[in-house]
Chain A
Amino acid sequence: MDASDFRLEEDQPRPGTLVVSVHGDLDLHSADRLGDLLVAAVDRGVSLLVVDLSDVEFVDSQGLGALLRGTRRFGAGKERFRLVVPAPEIRRVFEITALDQVFALDESREAAITAGSPTTTEDTGPERSG
């Protein structure tokens, strides 16, 4: 996949839940776009944020940094900021950096939404207005 094919898609499967799908390589060339989108999404107000990396073929430290920007802005427990990381090669990058202890990693979008929904988590999330 060409880096120019990098794109981000937003989907709101239910009120308060936002799924950001990342397509392409996540590196220095693209990481800021993801980080900016995640920060903007958090500022708009969301109680569950799922970043779907199923269609990401490569992620490096800059991509991890963009995800860290998002989760720090989010501020709540990791149960409500979840990553879909089914590919072992991508999951390995999180394991190398011990960020698999920082992020909640799921195998599928459905699993992430289920695990992060209010009925399965204790906290209420940092939903903001404005």
Chain B
Amino acid sequence: MSTDAVRLRFPAKPEYLLLARLAVAGVARRMTLGRREVADLKLAVTEACSNAVRHAYVDRPRGEIELELVVADDCLELVVEDHGAGIALPVPDVAPSELGGMGLPIIRAVMDELEIRQSADGTGTVVHMTKRAHDVSESPSEPVAASDV
């Protein structure tokens, strides 16, 4: 089994959310993913990064977001880390709804695994998401064309 990792670091600003989506779509092409699965990955990474943009640096100078994409034969891991205010743990497991924040519930709905923890250096938040390839074989979705990236 081969594993590759791609790391990005960008300002925690809304205009860079597209960059995160493009990176995920590009890396996802290494796997045999359907159109729906790639859309799910783009949604998940955007929600995680958007949370960091909106909440991590509210009371301090705007920092950066670190995005790590680890692609293996059987899964794709998305790790979004900020060094901001942190998040109250544990995060309640609620269903997506229009009441309250929808970001994390959406991530739970589209990814196979979600772990939220404090950064290793004690500041900020790590959102670790995993999408397993077994979902893909069960999906009738069409493969994503290069133009979709």
Contacts and interface: CB of A to CB of B under 8 A. Distances in A.
Interface residues of A, number: 22
A3 B106 contact: no
Interface in A38-83: 58, 60-62, 64-65, 68
Nearest to B102: A61
Interface in A86-103: 88-89, 92-93, 96-99, 102
Interface stretch (A10-18, A25-33, A105-113, A117-125): A25-33
Contacts of B36: 88-89, 92
Interface residues of B, number: 26
A60 B39 contact: no
B126 to A, nearest CB: 20
Chain A contact residues: helix, strand, loop or mixed: helix
Contacts of B96: 96-98
Given A64-B98, A88-B36, A96-B109, 18 more contacts: A27-B14, A28-B53, A29-B15, A29-B18, A58-B21, A60-B43, A60-B50, A60-B106, A61-B47, A61-B50, A62-B50, A65-B102, A92-B39, A93-B43, A96-B110, A97-B96, A97-B102, A97-B105
The 6 closest A-B pairs by CB, nearest first: A29-B14, A61-B102, A89-B39, A97-B96, A28-B14, A3-B18
Interface of B: 14-15, 17-18, 21, 35-36, 39, 42-43, 46-47, 50, 53-54, 95-98, 101-103, 105-106, 109-110
18 contacts: A3-B15, A3-B18, A27-B18, A28-B53, A58-B42, A58-B43, A58-B46, A60-B50, A61-B50, A62-B50, A68-B98, A88-B36, A89-B36, A96-B96, A97-B97, A97-B106, A98-B98, A99-B98
